[in-house]
C-alpha cells in the first residue's frame, strides 16, 4: 500500500532535509557573492561620447551630482562643474551621486572626493577617472 512516505524514502531523486537546506544556503551565498562582483546590472563605463549633453546646470545640485550614461557630473562648488566615469575602480560598480562632497560606491564603500575624484578610503586603490566637460550656456557637454 502506498502511503507517500515509502515513495519518498525509496526515490533516489528525493533530497534529505539536510541536503536541501545546504543546497539552498549555497545558492543564496552564490547570489550574494555575485552581487558584489563586476556583474552588477548598474555597472559599466561611461557611454556618453564627445559632444553629448550630459546635463543642464540646473540638474546638478551644489555639493551633489547626477549620473548620466555612466558619467557622474558634479558641482562641488557653485558654478564649478566636473565629471568622472561613474564606475568604481575597485570592482566596476556604479558609484552614487555625492553627499556632502563625498562620492560613495554602494558595493564596498570606497569613497572619493567630489572636488577632484581622488580616493578617500575603502578597497579602491585609485580615484575616479576624470572626464573632460565644457559648458555651452546652461548645458554641460562631454568634451
Could you tell me if residue 44 is inside a domain? no
Residue 58: DSSP 8-state:
G
Could you tell me if residue 136 is inside a domain? yes
pLDDT band at 56 (very low <50, low <70, confident <90, very high): very high
First to last CA, the chain: 80
Residue 21 has pLDDT above 60, yes or no: no
Q: d(Cα 57, Cα 79) in Å, to the nearest integer? A: 8
Residue 54 has pLDDT above 90, yes or no: yes
Q: Look up the domain containing 63 and give its range.
A: 53-142
Q: Give residue 14's pLDDT.
A: 54
Could you tell me if residue 28 is inside a domain? yes
Q: Give residue 44's pLDDT.
A: 60
Read off the C-alpha cell for 140: 554641460
Could you tell me if residue 80 is inside a domain? yes
Residue 124 has pLDDT above 80, yes or no: yes
Cβ neighbours, 10 Å, residue 8: 10
Same domain for 30 and 58, yes or no, is: no
Residue 113 has pLDDT above 60, yes or no: yes
Could you tell me if residue 47 is inside a domain? no
Read off the C-alpha cell for 67: 549620473
Query: Computed over its alpha carbons, how large is the radius of gyration of the chain?
Result: 23
Residue 9 has pLDDT above 60, yes or no: no
- pLDDT average, residue stretch 72-90: 96
Three-state secondary-structure class, residue 27: helix
Amino acid at each position: 500500500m502506498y502511503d507517500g512516505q515509502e515513495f519518498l524514502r525509496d526515490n533516489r531523486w528525493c533530497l534529505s532535509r539536510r541536503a536541501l537546506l545546504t543546497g539552498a544556503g549555497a545558492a543564496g551565498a552564490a547570489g550574494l557573492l555575485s552581487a558584489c562582483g563586476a556583474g552588477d546590472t548598474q555597472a559599466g563605463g561611461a557611454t556618453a561620447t564627445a559632444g553629448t549633453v550630459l546635463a543642464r546646470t540646473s540638474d546638478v545640485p551644489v555639493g551633489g551630482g547626477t549620473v548620466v550614461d555612466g558619467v557622474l557630473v558634479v558641482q562641488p562648488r557653485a558654478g564649478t562643474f566636473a565629471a568622472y566615469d561613474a564606475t568604481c575602480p575597485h570592482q566596476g560598480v556604479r558609484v552614487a551621486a555625492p553627499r556632502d562632497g563625498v562620492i560613495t560606491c554602494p558595493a564596498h564603500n570606497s569613497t572619493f572626493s567630489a572636488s577632484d575624484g581622488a580616493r578617500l578610503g575603502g578597497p579602491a586603490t585609485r580615484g575616479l577617472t576624470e572626464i573632460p566637460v565644457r559648458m555651452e550656456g546652461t548645458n554641460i557637454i562631454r568634451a
